[in-house]
Amino acid sequence: MKKTVGILLVAALVFLGSVFTVFANDTASEPIHKVDIKNICTLLWVGEKPQFSVELDPSLKEDVSVVSEKWIDRNDKELTVSGNNVAVAGGEYRYELKLSSENGFAFDNELDGVFYNGVELERYNLHYSFPPGDDNHTMIVSGDFNNIIVASPLKIDAGKLLALVISGNYSGAADFILSDDINASENVSIENGKTDRISNDKYRYELVLKTKEGFHFCNKLEFLYDEDKYGYTMDYDYSLSDNKHLLTIKGLAEKKQPEPEPAASNLKPGISALAADKAITNMTSDSDPKGAVFSKLSLRSTVQTNDYVKLSWKKPGNAKRYIIYGNKCGSSNKPKRLAVSKDNTCSIKKINGSKLKKGVYYKFIIVALDKDANVVSVSKLIRVTPKSSKAGNYKSVTVRKSVVSKAKKLRKGKTLKLNARAVVQSKKLKVRKYVGLRYESTNKTIATVSRSGKITARKKGVCYIYAYAQNGVYRKIKVEVK
């Protein structure tokens, strides 16, 4: 580990004791003659404004106040809460704290001392001074701090982690922890790990990591993973112990199923309603028919009861009516024509004359027709089950705010992984997965999206990416390519 004056570059771990508080001892009839400093946050996040946490002893709040805190780089750029500058990787910073005495008090010229955690400031390359001309009403503490940390989030190479999960052997080194500045795996060990094999290609895992003495984990984690490369989906969640020495990562690893071949019929806009009806009612696969598009209609089911499932969709401008098809899931169950609607909702109670059954999943697809009975658009297939105590559906699809923000400022040729997640209606319910999250771009010339949710910026412009679950609930992400 390398130390420099005023800085310690660490990508994932933070020294303990990196905070300090201000105390001053005085009486109502004497000047302030002693200051003890604690609770100054010395962790600067790369790309973010600093956090400040100085505290004053409650008995001194009426007599001493914090005027300002700031970090200053070698080019005299100031990092403040209200400023525009942010910490940069590799940056070196010095600290400055300004205190002011109140109510007629002043700092004594002959201070008994200024301390950091009971140790004189000079031990930490800090010093204090009184600006001229204000009769010692202001004190400035400044200098180079020898345990400043400019940190990036902890990064996990989930491809290497996947190998441990599948093997169930967690006795190796924690070399799946990545760092740009130090070998973080030297300061972290695997406390314990376990894998529960649910099926041949499905594993539930739990991993606990522990820091060496003198370190603790940052509260940010990045999971680096490429589903297309490894052929497995990996869900994860993480938590820190109260003392931040232990990091627990839990999740599910499941082998991706190959996408079925698309149906041969091309249900493109403009074909007749009769041709579309014939193609759909003769489908021998549960895959989406060629020509089906999600974004135009966005067929979904967000309401289910014991007796029916409610379907809803968007209304394209030139669509006049909609044909609803459905059946039980399974390639042997060809879609049946169920209803015709002029509205953009429809509740399905029966299929083939039988009431819908709890715990059974049904597939639906709709065709939008214009006034001449020609196809405007065909939806993607969705899968839904009625309300029950065991089987459920998804209620939403989530994408982190930071990812949504990045999508609005992509440069041509750059990529961005959405890492979208489908959220189940209740933790008590299980969803039978027929297809995973699917993605669609409204303009592939501007940005494309892979099956795993990786966006690639193609040319300048604006488009939208839809991430949608098997019952059609979705998240719409705006993409702006600069």
- Give residue 455's pLDDT: 96
- Give residue 13's pLDDT: 39
* Per-residue b or e along 175-189, where b marks 16 or more CB atoms closer than 10 Å to that residue's CB: ebbbbebbebbebbe
Do 128 and 139 form a contact (C-beta atoms < 8 A)? Answer: yes
- In order, the DSSP letters of 12-28 are SEEESS--EEEEEE--T
Report the DSSP beta bridge partners of residue 254: 202, 233
Over residues 314-331, the mean pLDDT reads 95
Band the pLDDT of 27: cuts 50, 70, 90: very low
Domains, in order of start, for the chain: 8-151 (no CATH), 154-255 (no CATH), 263-384 (2.60.40.10), 394-481 (2.60.40.1080)
**Does residue 220 carry a pLDDT above 90?**
no
- Give residue 369's pLDDT: 96
- Other C-beta atoms closer than 10 Å to the C-beta of 145 total 23
Band the pLDDT of 2: cuts 50, 70, 90: very low
Residue 379: phi and psi, rounded to 5, are -80, 170
pLDDT digits (tens, 9 = 90+) for 263-286: 446 899 999 998 899 899 999 899
Residue that the structure tokens 């089911």 belong to = 301
Band the pLDDT of 56: cuts 50, 70, 90: confident
Residue that the structure tokens 């790990």 belong to = 193
- Based on DSSP, count helices (H) and strands (E) in the chain, helices before strands: 4, 41
**Does residue 29 carry a pLDDT above 60?**
no
- pTM for the whole structure: 0.49
**Does residue 146 carry a pLDDT above 70?**
no
- Give residue 478's pLDDT: 97
Q: What whole-number percentage of the chain has pLDDT above 90?
A: 48
**Does residue 19 carry a pLDDT above 70?**
no
- Give residue 264's pLDDT: 41
**Does residue 8 carry a pLDDT above 50?**
no
Task: For residue 23, give every residue at least 6 positions away whose Cβ sits within 8 Å of its Cβ, in sequence order, or none.
Answer: 34, 35, 36, 37, 38, 56, 57, 60
Average pLDDT over all residues of the chain: 84
- The CA distance from 387 to 401, in Å, is 31
- Give residue 136's pLDDT: 86
Q: Cα-Cα-Cα-Cα dihedral of 304, 309, 310, 316, to 10°?
A: 130
- Give residue 114's pLDDT: 79
Band the pLDDT of 184: cuts 50, 70, 90: low
CB-based burial label for 372 (10 Å; 0-12, 13-18, 19+): exposed
Tokens of 242: 């109260």
Over residues 142-146, the mean pLDDT reads 77
CB-based burial label for 321 (10 Å; 0-12, 13-18, 19+): middle
**Does residue 480 carry a pLDDT above 50?**
yes
pLDDT digits (tens, 9 = 90+) for 362-385: 999 999 999 999 999 999 999 999
